Structure 1
Amino acid sequence: MQPLSTVKIQTKEQFEELVKKESFLILKHSLTCPISQEAFDEYQSFVQDHQEFNTAYLAVQEARPLSNEIAENFGIKHESPQAILFRDGKPVWNASHWKITYDSLSNAIKGE
């Protein structure tokens, strides 16, 4: 599956631009983990059907300092794969591993 309308980020500056948005979803994933690839596939399906929603992802191996900074600054223990929903600059929902599904992402942005 090819990447869709989502943004790959690698720097603190790119992340800070996202935080300025009212809400966004970020996926942290590993390039070498099969569970992470499953989560990334679910994420891409979600993005395809929710193109109006701000999304971004990072590959932990390529952006480890940023991944660690997100965990530290927002008090969310690092896991990979991990999806985090932000509203008004704060994390309001997160899931990891097999809990990252099309449905869980859809329900999260609806506030369910």
Structure 2
Amino acid sequence: MSTFTQITTSEELEAAIRESEERPVLLFKHSTRCPISAGAYAEAQRYLGGSPNEDASYVLIHVVEDRPVSLEAADRLGVEHASPQAILLKEGRAVWNTSHSRITSASLQEALS
């Protein structure tokens, strides 16, 4: 079963971006204080518990606790910050993103298929 790996440092963010050169990386930005984010996180977990793309990596940033890394991700990837937010990385860049209630198990399945 696939799971999220939490990243908390610039170095871990850089490693995830580099990893996307070899395989898709889904970056999930999550607020532990927001009920909308809790719902989106539950949808992401549902996706991971179903039939996720086993060739992809899944990373998680807590936007409140690790704000500097969250803001750096927005800056580095050229994707305006939102929370919750799902960003798909391929070849070192963001190729798809969505946020809030648009984060569903089905939308992740489609993006990662």
Q: Please name the residue that 1:76 is paired with.
A: 79
Residues 53 and 112 in structure 2, CA contact (< 8 A), matched pair in contact too? no
Q: Gapped runs of 5+ residues in structure 2?
A: none
TM-score with structure 1 setting the length: 0.89
Cα 1:51–1:6, aligned 2, differ >3 Å: closer, same or farther?
Answer: farther
What secondary structure does 1:20 align onto? helix
Kindly, what percent of the aligned residue pairs are identical?
39
Residues 47 and 55 in structure 1, CA contact (< 8 A), matched pair in contact too? no
Q: 1:30-51, CA deviations, whole angstroms, 9 ceiling, x for partnerless residues?
A: 1111000000001111122326
Count of paired positions: 107
Write the distance in 2 (CA, Å) between the matches of 1:25 and 1:94. Answer: 9
Q: Which amino acid aligns with 1:32?
A: R
Q: Please name the residue that 1:39 is paired with.
A: 40
Residue of 1, 4, 7 corresponding to 1:6: 4
Task: Kindly report the root-mean-square deviation, in angstroms, between the aligned alpha carbons of the 2 structures.
Answer: 1.3
Residue 21 of structure 2 is aligned to residue 16 of structure 1: no
Residue 83 of structure 2 is aligned to residue 86 of structure 1: no
